[in-house]
Amino acid sequence: MRHCLLFSLLFSIVLQLSGCGAYRNYDLELQQTTDQLKAGDTNGALALIEAHNPDEEKDLLYYFEKGAVLSAAGELPQSQVAWRSAEQMVIQRQDTIETAGDKLLSALGNQWGSIINDKIRRYDGYDYEKVMLTTQMALNQLAVNDFDGARADIKKTHERETMIARQRELEYERIENAAKAQGARVHYKDLQGYPVVMLDSPAVIALKNGYQSAFSHYLAGFTYEALGEKDLAAPGYRQAIELRPDMPFFQQALHDLDSPGLKAGESDVLIIVQSGLAPARSSVRVPYPVKLEDGQVIVANVSFPVMVPDTSTPHFDQISLDGRPKKLITVNNITDMSLRTLRDDMPGIIQRTTYRAFLAADVQGTDNRRNPAKASYVTHYDGFEHADTRTWRTLPNLTQVLRLRLKKGEHMINLPTAPGVAPLKIRIDQDRQIIGLRALGDRIYANGSAFQASTSPESRVVSGLK
């Protein structure tokens, strides 16, 4: 009875604090938004983002998604404004992690804050999203040859990684101590029916963690090299090598720091192709048996998150440059990073979810004792029991690169995802230059000062140049 009363009280308080946030179907909202983006309608995508976020006070995901759509559309200054707002929210929450609602829930008991649903928790962004935020901001700057501006964002990326490492160490220690105190340690492999294969894939396990990106550090090395700061470029390349020692591409960059300079009329060009969408999060129900003090075994159906990879963009590993095929090298995979993050976060998710299972089972056990004739050993269906499916969906999934030396002047680029479309024309006029493309479905978004807008009415290529 005591648990029932507390549960009802907490439920009413949370609803007042969070409105209808827990009922928000974020996955459906973003499916509608990304459908517009895949159709080349960035204005439609932006309109949906605004329609789905009517409150005056916007959340972190609003700025994540809006910045990404504006970047694809070539509205780089506006994209930076949105992402700067997201960055400011991340900074404000680095030290102050509790809202007034969280504090009230904490006053009711340290574990009660997660009794109802993880979706009620304020969305503070996953670690890899915070790191990729400043990386994407740097790419916006580099698209218009602002290496000094990119340098500032790259520095923030490094500082954020250091802070995240400290926070994760403390968090994992707290979870480990809590598990010892409870006397029970449940591993995700113990969850009947949970798809553990993806979390244990070699690509996921090979990652040092879920937030450090070898590409981000390589990009730092290229930026410092372009600014003539080879003493800072070398550590960037070395860190990329440490994170991905299996990639000769990173090792080559470090080796080439000591190579002869550029020839007259030549440019060191880094072509960056980002494709697809970050994976969605979905919710799966898993039966969890709970043994009560009176010997009853009640099966509670609880929910855990799983990742659903995006399949909107066909895989490709080369582009055509001036009519000649050029191989691309994959240097970042958000699906792998998100899976590694989920893998590392599972102990905390399990701790919160199994606590809810024990509570639900205790309530059912009390009902059984009161009315043995109608006893049930499976908890009643609870529509509120659902894993948190919020995540930054418009973040590009794959990042592929090609680095080569080109003569300054005009060049033509084709991507295999847009067959039959006139090549994109680029102009190389810097000693070191970055060319950025985004492929989504059969669309190509091109932004930055190097691109000329397509004039073909039949073209499925979307040029973001403004």
Q: What is the pLDDT of residues 216-253, one digit of tens each?
A: 999 999 999 999 999 999 999 999 999 999 999 999 99
pLDDT digits (tens, 9 = 90+) for 113-123: 445 566 677 88
Tell me the CATH number for domain 2-463.
1.25.40.10
pLDDT at position 350 over 70: yes
Task: 166-171: list long-range contacts, CB under 8 Å, 24+ apart.
Answer: 167/94, 168/127, 168/209, 168/344, 171/348
Share of the chain above pLDDT 90, in %: 61
pLDDT at position 104 over 80: no
Which residues neighbour 176 within 8 Å (Cβ) at sequence distance 6 or greater? 347
d(CA 19, CA 57): 13
Buried b (16+ CB within 10 A) or exposed e, 319-334: bebeeeeeebebbbbb
**What is the residue-averaged pLDDT of the chain?**
85
Burial of 297 (0-12, 13-18, 19+ CB in 10 A): exposed
pLDDT at position 141 over 50: yes
Could you tell me the sign of the dihedral formed by the alpha carbons of 61, 154, 307, 380, in that order?
negative
pLDDT digits (tens, 9 = 90+) for 43-96: 999 999 999 999 999 999 999 999 999 999 999 999 999 999 999 999 988 765
DSSP β-ladder status, 398-407 and 329-333: antiparallel
Which carries the bigger pLDDT value, residue 119 or residue 156? 156
Residue-level pLDDT at 310: 95
The mean pLDDT of 253-270, rounded to a whole number, is 92
Residue-level pLDDT at 185: 65
pLDDT digits (tens, 9 = 90+) for 329-342: 999 999 999 999 99
Q: How confident is the model at residue 181 (pLDDT cuts 50, 70, 90)?
A: low
The mean pLDDT of 32-39, rounded to a whole number, is 94
At residue 66, φ and ψ (nearest 5 deg) are -65, -45
Q: How confident is the model at residue 418 (pLDDT cuts 50, 70, 90)?
A: confident
The mean pLDDT of 186-200, rounded to a whole number, is 86
Could you tell me the sign of the dihedral formed by the alpha carbons of 13, 96, 71, 218, in that order?
negative
DSSP secondary structure letter of residue 331:
E
The mean pLDDT of 272-301, rounded to a whole number, is 93
Residue-level pLDDT at 117: 61
DSSP β-ladder status, 432-440 and 266-275: parallel
pLDDT at position 293 over 70: yes
